Amino acid sequence: MKKSKVGFLFILPWLTGLVLFTVVPIIAALYISMTDWSIIGDANFIGLDNFKAIFNDPMFYRTLLITVRYAIFAIPLTIVTALVVAISLNNQYRGTGVFRTIFYMPSIVSGVAVAIVFKWILDPNYGVLNSLLRLFGIPGPNWLYDPDWVLPSYLIMAIWGASGGLYVYLAALKDIPKELYESAIIDGAGLMQKIRYITLPMLTPVLFYNMVMGIISAFRKFTDAYILGGAGEEGIFYMVYLYNQAFSFYKMGYATALAWILFVIIFGLTLIVNYTKKYWVFSE
């Protein structure tokens, strides 16, 4: 009994933080989502009216569709990009450490700074990308200002910053037994066969983790989307719409209801991916 009390005292700071900074805010957010509150003044309880208004709002479906379209392309592109880079750098060649640092740097740069830089890169008149295209006689698109090119613009940024999972892949690659590759070489397997039958199956737990994190990240896309905007309503992501409702129109109850809907969507997608894990994730 005494040992139990000592153990409880050790975890008490963590439990206190959990209650104060996680459980209480969740309960408060649930209550706020059922109120008409403009941040200033009292909150009027209105039940489920906010949720009813959201599902009757065309802008809700438009921003959700934009976010879903982005997630469908961004998640596999970033996973594949990080995986290809990790496999390429999984050797002790001269200068490999320098390249690992270079590829990882985008993941530690401020999102605001990245957005400002890409606003310059994607500028249709003076941007670096269109200037390079003009050297080859190719007229560059309007990127963020053209509804047809908004999604590709954000995908370029996503691929550029895809190295966030680089070191996770590198660590997982180091854990793959070398004996498997040696046996494959004896059997006459080539590079692509080793990647297909050894590397990818052994990396499936990491791929699963990065897929879940990619879903969360894609649906919570905000910083660069808010700063860059893009083609009017065609470039408004779900989180930007939520932020505008809270801090531009002072509809905090409505915005909190949007946040709860987003939580349900992400949680549901995570459960689906977790259910499919048994069909494709290799476990020793």
**pLDDT-wise least confident of 93-107, 177-191, 251-265:** 93-107
Q: What is the average per-residue pLDDT within 198-203?
A: 90
Write down the mean pLDDT value for the chain.
Answer: 88
How many CB atoms lie under 10 A from the CB of residue 235?
20
| Residue-level pLDDT at 167 | 81
What pLDDT does residue 10 have? 85
Quick: pLDDT tens for 117-147.
Answer: 888 898 888 888 999 988 888 888 888 888 8
- When pLDDT is cut at 50, 70 and 90, the band that residue 250 belongs to is very high
Residue 107 has pLDDT above 90, yes or no: no
* Pairwise CA distance, residues 256 & 39, whole Å: 12
Please state which of the ranges 48-62, 87-101, 123-137, 215-229 shows the lowest mean pLDDT. 87-101
Instruction: Please tell me the least confidently modeled range out of 176-190, 229-243, 265-279.
Output: 229-243
Mean pLDDT of 5-19: 87
pLDDT at 90 over 60: yes
Q: Are 34 and 45 in contact (CB under 8 A)?
A: yes
CA distance 37 to 44: 6
CA angle, residues 112, 115, 118, in degrees to nearest 5: 150
Higher pLDDT, 25 or 228: 25
Residues 6+ apart with CB under 8 A from 185: 194
Q: What percent of the chain has pLDDT over 70?
A: 97
Residue 231 has pLDDT above 60, yes or no: no
Mean pLDDT of 7-15: 87
CATH hierarchy code of domain 53-280:
1.10.3720.10
3-state secondary structure of 40: coil
